[in-house]
Amino acid sequence: MNGKAIPGMDTQLEEAVRPRDREATRQRLLAAGRTLFAEHGYEHVTVRMIAAEAEANVALVGRYFGSKAGLFSEVLQGEPTIRRILDGDAEGLARRLAVYAAKRMTHDPKSRILRSLEHSSQDPEVKALVRERLRTAFIEPIAEILGDAPEARARARMVTMLFLGIGSMRRTFGPEPPTPADVDRLTAMFEVCLHG
């Protein structure tokens, strides 16, 4: 050989040497991305930073996730959703949503990833990912519960907007313990969103 590097050879060698570690490498990259996105926000993290943190070849980010945005999308998939709140009868949904929202008012967000989204909210890639996340984790599941109710999707968007507003207030003013009356008011608001 003439001593010149062959493009992609490092990646191929790494994969050949550790073929059974592919999933472990993928998980390290995912964990590194989660940590770095939480610490620095999406726009300040590079693929090189993620690869270095994971002690992996930089090309593997593209191979496993397609791009930094693809990796970030998978990180978001691991974040909390309201899916467990949606389980149960449709009649009690407004109350379950209200109780969950009231609990969220009492403490800071547990997820540093979700908090870091605020800092990256103007990035076009992040906007697209957040829209998709809201669609799949909130709007579609709520619309599915509403079934053939008139304007089910529009009603699901209203519920999502109410949740986003509560989160925004908490971030702006800090955690505030809700009163029983707050839970009743929230229940009424969710009822209006869900059933008109």
Contact 143, 194 (CB under 8 A): no
Among 59, 77, 95, residue at a domain's last position: 77
Structure tokens at 183: 């839970």
131-185: pLDDT as tens digits = 888 898 889 999 998 888 889 999 999 999 998 888 777 777 777 888 889 899 9
Q: Residue 1 pLDDT > 50, yes or no?
A: no
**Residues 174 and 106 sit within 8 Å (Cβ to Cβ):** no
* pLDDT one-digit tens code per residue, 101-137: 888 777 665 566 766 666 666 778 888 888 888 898 8
Percent of the chain with pLDDT over 70: 82
- Which residue, 188, 176, 171, is CA-closest to 103? 176
Q: Which of 22, 50, 77 is the last residue of a domain?
A: 77
CATH number at residue 62: 1.10.357.10
**Residue numbers of the domain that contains 174:** 83-195
